[in-house]
């Protein structure tokens, strides 16, 4: 599978999962009365301490994060969890699933591993 096709697939899977997450809103991320960001899990949100997190939220396009649901999310939204799992398997098989990696980091990593050809795409160091 070419890099071009993988990038297209990455964007497509990201779009589908983003729409699903937006419609279902499984995590219910919001600010509490102390202006802290919270979700339905007492252990979350799972973005905490990620290098891509800013005060305004995530700063990158990260497919693996769109596909992740913790156990609380899994049991409160089993159908969504199953769909996201299926998409996860597709992305793993297509070698575009890197946990907490941005799209740029994902394709930089693939190129570094020598698995990809550029096909005219410029993938700069993240
Ligand atoms: S996956 Fe779980 S921990 Fe992460 S934001 Fe959603 S509810 Fe919170
Ligand atoms: S990359 Fe993932 S874990 Fe990091 S801030 Fe973005 S959504 Fe959260």
Confidence check: pLDDT of 121 > 70: no
Distance, CA of 21 to CA of 107 (rounded, Å) = 24
The residue contributing the CA closest to ligand 1 atom 6 is 27
50-104 tens-digit pLDDT? 999 998 889 999 999 999 999 999 999 999 999 999 999 999 999 999 988 999 9
Q: What is the C-alpha separation between 69 and 41, in angstroms, rounded? A: 11
- Collapsing DSSP states into helix, strand and coil, what is residue 124? coil
Domain ranges of the chain: 3-26+60-112
Name the residue of 22, 31, 40 to mutate for ligand 1: max ligand atoms within 8 A of Cβ. Answer: 40
- Residue 21 C-alpha to ligand 2 middle, in angstroms? 14
| β-pair partners for 30 | 38
Query: Which residue has the least CA distance to atom 3 on ligand 1?
Result: 44
d(CA 116, CA 61): 20
pLDDT at residue 125 in the model: 55
Confidence of residue 122 (pLDDT cuts 50, 70, 90): very low
Residue 120 has pLDDT above 90, yes or no: no
Is the pLDDT confidence value at 10 over 80? yes
Token representation of residue 67: 């596909």
User: Is the full-model pTM beyond 0.85?
Assistant: yes
Q: What are residue 31's DSSP bridge partners?
A: 37
């Amino acid at each position: 599978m070419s890099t071009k096709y993988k990038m297209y697939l990455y964007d497509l899977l990201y779009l589908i999962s983003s729409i699903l997450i937006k419609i279902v809103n499984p995590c219910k991320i919001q600010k509490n009365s102390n202006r802290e960001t919270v979700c339905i899990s007492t252990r979350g949100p799972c973005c905490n301490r990620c290098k891509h997190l800013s005060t305004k939220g995530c700063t990158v396009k990260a497919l693996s994060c769109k596909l992740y649901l913790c156990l609380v999310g899994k049991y409160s939204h089993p159908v969504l969890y199953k769909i996201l799992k299926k998409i996860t398997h597709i992305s793993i098989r297509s070698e575009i699933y890197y946990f907490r990696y941005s799209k740029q980091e994902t394709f930089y990593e693939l190129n570094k591993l020598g698995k990809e050809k550029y096909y005219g795409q410029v993938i700069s160091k993240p």
